[in-house]
């Protein structure tokens, strides 16, 4: 049933490995035991990643990993946030991976809050294994674990938030099992909070048809609310798992992987994997795409949203110097996806377009054509040379790809309909 997934089947953990693609940067809940740090190479735990990749970067990174490691059977997304707090990045990545590597097992690890809306898409993408973190089946206990829960544009707290999360988790598990997807539940064991409640979680999950449970002892994480809380002893965990087996099979070989882990379980990322991750985020010009387009008002700053730009400055190399080649007109607004398809064609010589904002839909279309969409604000002279020289862009310039605030739109998740804002 568990095929060759080392997290679900201990018998294959020494023969095959996994690679996690860190594309999910945001989270839709705040757990009191969690503090996500993206750039931390020396910690091995969930929620940690050296970088956050875009879907196209994730595929490029995966190509590099597979060229060096031949024993990877699983490709998954497990953070550093929640996959369904960044659903477009998650699903686009899985789509790219599935097309190029159809023989690999695809899996996701989520809190389950945002999964329900995408269940049909998961089936289409052939995702076969899903892990859901469920720490309580009683909202009164859940309220002690979660500071807040965000569903849509609203934030819920206390028992109300925990109740919504639990209901969505149950619905997600039912949907997954209806589609014959293998489900594992992770339960963080927190002394004084849910330790005496874990067996109830085990019983409930067993009755719901969950395939396996992974009881994880609380970790003390700097910066988390419970950074100084007591962690369970090994004897306590052994006793708990032994009793939980009466209700549901137990996973007992978890290595609490990083969100960018690659290789066999228990092997921390080495220098080579960290180097590949760093290289994957670097966008370079190529012989086929030797130029860079910039959305700018005056030619000095990257300061225009993709959809509001009526022209783009196109930069290239001449006599070993970066020069402005031309001001190239943007495709006409108001034509929906045709606008972005035309832009992909008109700017097919550009490795990247630098903008101050961009909707999800145009970004998807342009990146599917092979052009990187980079969202930043600052001097052109500080950003464009990095792409020509193959250097990482300054983090101080980078902006979130998930907010569209141009032209007064101000909405998270703007789809970019091709009518000006987009």
Domain ranges (residues) in the chain? 10-280, 291-412
User: Are 307 and 333 contacting, i.e. CB atoms less than 8 angstroms apart?
Assistant: yes
Please state, rounded to an integer, the average pLDDT across all residues of the chain.
Answer: 85
Q: CA-to-CA distance for 421 and 417, rounded, in angstroms?
A: 7
The DSSP symbol for 406 reads G
Cα–Cα distance, 267 to 253 (Å, whole number): 13
| Nearest-angstrom CA–CA distance, 376 and 121 | 31
- pLDDT at residue 412 above 60? no
The secondary element (H helix, E strand) that includes residue 172 is: helix 158-178
The pLDDT tens digits for 128-138 are 999 999 999 99
For the chain, percent of residues with pLDDT exceeding 90: 58
Helix (H, G, I), strand (E, B) or coil at 317: strand
The C-alpha atoms of residue 5 and residue 11 are separated, in whole angstroms, by: 9
Maximal CA-CA distance, the chain: 73
Of 56, 117, 67, the C-alpha closest to 92 is: 56
Q: How many CB atoms lie within 10 A of CB 104?
A: 20
- The answer to whether the beta carbons of residues 4 and 73 sit under 8 Å apart is yes
The CATH-assigned architecture of domain 10-280 is: Alpha-Beta Barrel (3.20)
| Helical ranges in 183-233 per DSSP H | 198-208
State mean pLDDT over 178-201.
94
The whole-angstrom separation of Cα 148 and Cα 291 is 45
Contact 351, 288 (CB under 8 A): no
For the packed helices 198-208 and 158-178, what is the interaxial angle rounded to 10 degrees?
30
Q: Return the pLDDT at 421.
A: 43
What is the full DSSP assignment across 357-404? B--HHHHHHHHHTT-EEEEB-EEHHHHHHHHHHT-PPPGGGB--TTEE
Q: Residue 355 is inside which H or E element, if any? A: strand 350-355
Q: Compare 414 and 105 and report the one with higher pLDDT.
A: 105
Instruction: State mean pLDDT over 409-417.
Output: 39
Residue 402 pLDDT > 70: no
- The distance of Cα 98 from the centroid of its chain, to the nearest Å, equals 16
Looking at residue 269, what is its pLDDT? 61
Please state which CATH class domain 291-412 belongs to: alpha beta
Q: How far is CA 94 from the centre of its chain?
A: 10
Given a cut of 50, is residue 305 above it in pLDDT?
Answer: yes
CA pseudo-torsion sign 141, 145, 151, 155? positive
Between 422 and 56, the more confident residue is: 56
Q: Which letter does DSSP use for residue 354 in this model?
A: E
- pLDDT for 38 beyond 50: no
Asked if residues 349 and 364 have their Cβ atoms less than 8 Å apart, the reply is: no
| Structure token digits, residue 266 | 């228990």
Predicted pLDDT at 260? 82
pLDDT digits (tens, 9 = 90+) for 253-282: 665 677 787 766 666 666 777 788 888 888
Q: Check whether 406 has a pLDDT greater than 50.
A: no
Q: Residue 8: pLDDT above 70?
A: no
Q: Are 163 and 96 in contact (CB under 8 A)?
A: no
pLDDT digit string, tens, across residues 324-371: 999 999 998 888 889 999 999 999 999 999 999 998 789 888 988 889
Q: How far apart are CA 239 and CA 219, in angstroms?
A: 18
Report the alpha-carbon distance of residue 193 to residue 225 in Å, rounded.
13
């Amino acid at each position: 049933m568990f095929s060759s997934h080392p997290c679900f089947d201990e018998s294959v953990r020494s023969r095959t490995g996994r690679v996690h693609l860190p594309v999910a940067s945001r989270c839709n809940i705040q757990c009191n035991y969690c503090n996500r740090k993206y750039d931390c190479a020396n910690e091995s735990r969930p929620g940690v990643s050296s970088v956050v990749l875009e879907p196209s970067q994730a595929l490029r990174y995966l190509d590099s990993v597979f060229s060096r490691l031949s024993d990877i059977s699983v490709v998954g997304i497990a953070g550093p946030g929640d996959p369904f707090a960044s659903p477009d990045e998650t699903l686009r990545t899985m789509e790219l991976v599935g097309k190029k590597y159809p023989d690999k097992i695809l899996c996701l690890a989520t809190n389950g809050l945002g999964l329900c809306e995408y269940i049909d898409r998961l089936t289409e993408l052939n995702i076969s294994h899903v892990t859901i973190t469920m720490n309580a089946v009683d909202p009164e206990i859940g309220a002690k674990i979660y500071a807040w829960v965000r569903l849509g544009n609203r934030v819920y707290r206390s028992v109300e938030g925990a109740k919504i999360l639990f209901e969505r988790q149950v619905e997600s598990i039912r949907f997954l099992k209806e589609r014959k997807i293998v489900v594992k539940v992770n339960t963080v064991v927190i002394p004084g909070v849910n330790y005496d409640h874990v067996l109830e979680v085990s019983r409930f999950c067993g009755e719901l048809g969950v395939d396996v449970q992974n009881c994880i002892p609380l970790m003390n994480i700097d910066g988390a609310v419970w950074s100084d809380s007591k962690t369970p002893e090994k004897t306590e965990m052994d006793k708990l798992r032994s009793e939980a087996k009466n209700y549901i099979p137990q996973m007992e070989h978890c290595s609490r992987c990083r969100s960018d882990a690659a290789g066999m379980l228990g092997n921390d990322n080495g220098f080579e994997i960290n180097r590949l991750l760093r290289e994957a985020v670097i966008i370079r010009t190529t012989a086929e795409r030797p130029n860079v387009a910039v959305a700018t008002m005056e030619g000095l700053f990257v300061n225009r949203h993709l959809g509001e730009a009526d022209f783009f400055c196109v930069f290239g190399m001449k006599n070993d110097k970066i020069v402005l080649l031309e001001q190239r007109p943007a495709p006409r607004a108001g034509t929906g996806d045709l606008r972005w398809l035309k832009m992909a064609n008109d700017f097919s010589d550009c490795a990247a377009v630098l903008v101050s904002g961009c909707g999800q839909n145009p970004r998807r279309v342009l990146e599917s054509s092979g052009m990187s969409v980079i969202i930043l604000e600052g001097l052109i002279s500080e950003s464009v040379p990095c792409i020509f020289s193959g250097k990482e862009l300054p983090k101080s310039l980078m902006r979130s790809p998930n907010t569209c605030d141009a032209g007064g739109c101000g909405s998270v998740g703007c789809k970019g309909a091709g009518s000006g804002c987009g």
